Structure 1
C-alpha cells in the first residue's frame, strides 16, 4: 500500500477543522465569563494592532466578570476602547490599571441566535471534514498497483475516520448548544 491515502495526513487535516471549530466556539459567549471570550480583541498599542493578551493579563474574578490587568499604564484607554469596539457587546470599566468587563445577562432571543450560530460553525467544520474525505477517496481510487479489494478497504478506512470526526463535531455542537441555552 505504497500509494493510497496517507491516513495520518488526512487525520491531521480533519483535526485542523476541529481545532478551528473549537476556537470559534471559544469566542462565543455563553453567559459565563471565560478568558477565551477576549481572544479576538485587538488593541492599538505602540503603533500597531496587538492581541489583548500581549498587553495585559486576562482573569476571571467571578462568573460574571472579566478583568484585564494592563501592564503599561498608557495603554489602559486603548484596551478599554479595543474591548468596546470588538463587537462583543461588552462595556468595560476602568479601575486604575485594571479594566473590568461585566458580562451582561443574555436574553432568550440572543441565546437562540447563538445556538443557531453554533450550528453554522459545526456545519462549516463538517464540510471541511467532508472535503478531506473526498481527497482521501480520490487518492484511494488513484492508487496504482493496488487490488480493488485494497482500494475498497482504503475507502472504508477513510470513511470510518470521517464518521468518527463528524461524531466528535456533533458532540461538541451539542455541548456548546447546551451551555448557551443554560440560564
Structure 2
C-alpha cells in the first residue's frame, strides 16, 4: 500500500502546526518572570484594602449582634415563657456564629494595617472567648452574660476601629445571610 503525496502532507500538517505554535510561545517568552503573574499591590493599597475589609467584616458582626442578639434580648425574647423564645434563641445562635466568624476575619484584616493591628491586638482574646457562646445562646444558657459578652466585644472593636481611622457602622445581615453563616 503506497501513500500518495497528499496523504503524506495531511499526516504532517498537525504535528508541524503544533511544533510551530509551541516554538512561537516559548520564543516570545524568554523571561520566565514575564508570565502574566498578578502584580502585587503597593503597601498603601494593601492598607486601604485592609481597613475597608476590616470595616465591612466588623460592620456585619456588629449588625448581626445588635439585630439578632442584643435587640431581642432587650425586648425580653430570651426569657422563659416568652412568645417565640425558641426561634429567637436559634437566630441568636446563628447570629453569634456569624459575628464570631466576621470578627475573626476582621482581626486578620487588621493585621494588614499597622494602626489597626495595634488597636485590635488587645481584643483578640475577647474575640476568641466568643467561640463557644453561640451554642449557649441556642440552648438558652445564661443569656444575660452571653449577650453582654457579645455586646462588649463589638463595642470594643468599634472603638478600636474608630481610634484607628476605620469607623465601623452596623450592617444588618438578612435572615437568609444569617442562615448561610
Give the number of the structure whose alpha-carbon radius of gyration is greater.
2
Higher helix share: 2
TM-score by length of 2: 0.30
TM-score by length of 1: 0.30
Higher strand share: 1
